[in-house]
Amino acid sequence: MRVPTLDEVFEAVGQKLYINVEIKSISPTTDGVEQVVADVIAKFNLQNRVIVSSFNPLTLKRFREILPEVAIGFLYAMDMTVDTQKIMYDLNLPYEAVHPYHSMIDAVYMQSAKSAGYRVNTWTVNDPEQAVKLRDLGVDC
């Protein structure tokens, strides 16, 4: 068994599902991954069927410059450094969604995020009861 390529995923389900593409990068510089991801999205004409997310605000900035019509989401967790949060703030980068770790989400968080116009997508929800609670709070995905 092997992990499918992004091309294979898009070929199989790109027109059927809305897909979150996470770019895993911790470097302040690029290895070109943003361009590669943008090229594959454009190749399959999925600009309106994907969201690109990352914990790295510089990666999101570079991606936004390459393919500005694709939605981006900022991934974060409670243990994220203040420096990373400050970089995201200082970049003044518009993004369409926030992707917090599920335990960070409550009614106050949802009110704040939704009033700011963000979609809220969370990650690694393994408990069915927690999933129902998050759905009831209005988490988008």
Coil vs helix vs strand at 73 = strand
- Alpha helix (H) ranges present in 54-106? 57-66, 82-91
Residue 83 in tokens: 């420096």
Q: What is the pLDDT along the chain (141 residues), one digit of tens a residue?
A: 999 999 999 999 999 999 999 999 877 777 899 999 999 999 999 999 999 999 999 999 999 999 999 999 999 888 876 677 677 677 778 899 999 999 999 999 999 999 999 999 999 999 999 999 999 999 999
Please give the model's pTM, rounded to 2 decimal places. Answer: 0.90
Task: Give the CATH fold of the 1-95 domain.
Answer: TIM Barrel (3.20.20)
CA 78 to chain centre: 16
Query: Is residue 57 within 8 Å of 88, Cβ to Cβ?
Result: yes
Q: Do the strands 19-22 and 97-100 form a parallel or antiparallel pair, or are they unpaired? A: unpaired
Helix (H, G, I), strand (E, B) or coil at 17: coil
DSSP state of 46: -
Instruction: State which amino acid sits at residue 88.
Output: M
- Domain ranges for the chain, please list them: 1-95, 101-141
